[in-house]
Chains A and B, each alone.
Chain A
Amino acid sequence: MAKRVEYVKPGEKAPATGQYCVVGPRGGKVGREVTVVKGEPMPPTPRKDQAYQLNKGENYRIVKDTVKPSSLGRSRIKDAIYKVSNRTKA
């Protein structure tokens, strides 16, 4: 049985982080690629009958979110910035 190819339409959430190529209505690559992070909406395609296909099998490591968050805590930093900004305005 033939393997089912998964296409993602513009506006849909990206199922994985990686490189997506634009494919035509019959699945042929049109030579354009985008890099999208998992969960982000796919950008518009050049033509309305086109979709995206995740590049698999190519030797490309999926970009990982490797930056660790600050140990000081994002919400504490946000609060401090907010307080200092308000103090200046007052």
Chain B
Amino acid sequence: MAYADNVFINCPFDEQYKPLFDAIVFTVFDAGFVARCALEISDSAQNRLEKIMDLVLDSRYGIHDISRTELGKDKLPRFNMPFELGLFVGCKKYGSHRIHRSKACLILDRDPYRYQKFLSDIAGQDISSHNKRPKKAILEVRNWLKTVSRRQNIPGGEEIWKRYRRFQKKLPDICAEMRIGVHELTFIDYMEFVSQWLKANS
């Protein structure tokens, strides 16, 4: 697994966001990259923040979804995503090796200009919006990866969307064959399912 293939995904991990998260992970693999995210940590005893910093260090690309930066039940904002975005931008700027200067990140939000109200320091960066729609998220991620990596072999957004829908349709059957529920899959399991399905269907 090479540094140049790793895409760090920094996003909410709740049920409401899952359709977007699954679509983004699929797109990353279909484009020939490897998705990395903090959910890998659940399988290890390593300190969470240290692990996140390792993931940032090992990833050339970062997808940061700040759409869930909003007040919770206790009227406090959730700030994990902007914090991890800050780590990524900091690593790009101050990383000890020049390899980190080549880091690139995509910032996603649900509306195009909402970030100006809570994170105005990132003004000037390209912020893309997915409008909470998986298809839009797939197109945004695919187009961004194509632009920043300059790789020629990345399929078109519509093609990835079609493949994603086919995969989603087959996933319950594959899980039934494995005697496991779709909702029981961990991130590591889901990654393995996606990469093996893409190998078998490319």
With a 10 A CB-CB cut-off, give which of A64, A68, A77, A82 has the most chain B CB atoms: A77
Check A68–B40 contact: CB distance below 8 A: yes
Q: Shortest CB–CB separation between residue A2 and chain B, in angstroms?
A: 27
Contacts A66-B40, A77-B193, A84-B174 known; A35 to B99 CB distance under 8 Å? yes
User: Looking at the complex, which of B18-26, B126-134, B194-202 is the stretch in contact with chain A?
Assistant: B194-202
CA distance A42 to B156 in the complex (A): 29
- For A65, the closest partner residue in chain B by CB is B1
Check A67–B36 contact: CB distance below 8 A: yes
Contacts A35-B3, A81-B174 known; A59 to B97 CB distance under 8 Å? yes
CA distance A60 to B57 in the complex (A): 10
Contacts A66-B54, A68-B40 known; A80 to B189 CB distance under 8 Å? no
Contacts A59-B96, A63-B1, A83-B177 known; A77 to B40 CB distance under 8 Å? no
Q: Shortest CB–CB separation between residue A62 and chain B, in angstroms?
A: 10
Question: What A residues does B148 contact at CB under 8 A?
Answer: none
Contact of A61 with B by CB under 8 A: yes
| Interface residue tally on A, bucketed by range | 20 to 34
- For B57, the closest partner residue in chain A by CB is A61
Check B189–A70 contact: CB distance below 8 A: yes
Question: What B residues does A78 contact at CB under 8 A?
Answer: 196, 200
- For A82, the closest partner residue in chain B by CB is B200
Check B173–A84 contact: CB distance below 8 A: yes
Check B191–A70 contact: CB distance below 8 A: yes
Contact of A3 with B by CB under 8 A: no
With a 10 A CB-CB cut-off, give which of A60, A67, A72 has the most chain B CB atoms: A67
Which of A19, A77, A88 contacts B192 (CB under 8 A)? A77
Check A58–B188 contact: CB distance below 8 A: no
Check B200–A67 contact: CB distance below 8 A: no
Question: What B residues does A87 contact at CB under 8 A?
Answer: 173
Contact of B15 with A by CB under 8 A: no
Q: Shortest CB–CB separation between residue B115 and chain A, in angstroms?
A: 30
User: Which residues of B in the span 132-160 have a Cβ within 8 Å of any Cβ on A?
Assistant: none
Could you pull out 9 A-B pairs where Cβ atoms are within 8 angstroms? A19-B97, A33-B99, A35-B99, A60-B99, A70-B188, A77-B178, A77-B196, A79-B177, A87-B173
Q: A60-B99, A63-B3, A81-B196 are in contact. List 17 more A-B contacts (CB 8 A).
A: A19-B97, A58-B97, A61-B57, A63-B1, A66-B40, A67-B1, A67-B34, A67-B40, A71-B186, A71-B188, A74-B192, A76-B178, A78-B200, A80-B174, A80-B178, A81-B174, A84-B170
